[in-house]
């Protein structure tokens, strides 16, 4: 597995979540046992553009950064590592329900991507 492939996997994940946030925000929130309201759905639709933008950046990054790809990969390793304690904090304060959906859907992908980015960026 190459670092470029890790960027592509990240792009696929951002694309999936960005598309769900745009097209079916209530279903996405429901899959994480979060109650959907009209305001929350509108916020999700707005945030979908950021997720889709990150997908495009992640897909293009191997060609844009070329020789500096490892430093960008290390940045994403740190970013994904930081999302883990944030998600745990949100679960501990009750912002997100504690359950398998939030642990598997939120924490596991970030742990895997943090490890892969770190491993391939060394």
pLDDT in tens, the chain (122 residues): 899 999 999 999 999 999 999 999 999 999 888 889 999 999 999 999 999 999 999 999 999 998 999 999 999 999 999 999 999 999 899 888 888 878 888 899 999 999 999 999 99
**What local confidence, expressed as pLDDT, does residue 32 receive?**
85
**What local confidence, expressed as pLDDT, does residue 61 receive?**
97
Residues of the domain holding 81: 3-121
**Cβ pair 59, 8 in contact under 8 A:** yes
Domain count for the chain, please give it: 1
**Closest Cα partner for 79 from 2, 6, 1?**
6
**Closest Cα partner for 10 from 113, 118, 115, 121?**
113
What is the three-class DSSP state of 104? helix
HSE-up of residue 83 (Cα within 13 Å, Cβ side): 19
């Amino acid at each position: 597995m190459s670092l470029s492939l890790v960027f592509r996997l990240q792009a696929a994940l951002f694309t999936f979540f960005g598309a769900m946030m745009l097209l079916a925000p209530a279903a996405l929130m429901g899959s994480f046992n979060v109650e959907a309201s009209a305001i929350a759905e509108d916020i999700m639709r707005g945030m979908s553009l950021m997720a889709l933008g990150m997908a495009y950046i992640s897909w293009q990054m191997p060609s844009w950064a070329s020789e500096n790809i490892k430093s960008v990969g290390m940045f994403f390793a740190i970013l994904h590592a930081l999302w883990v304690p944030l998600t745990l904090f949100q679960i501990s304060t009750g912002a997100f329900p504690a359950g398998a959906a939030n642990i598997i859907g939120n924490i596991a992908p970030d742990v895997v991507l943090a490890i892969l980015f770190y491993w391939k960026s060394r």
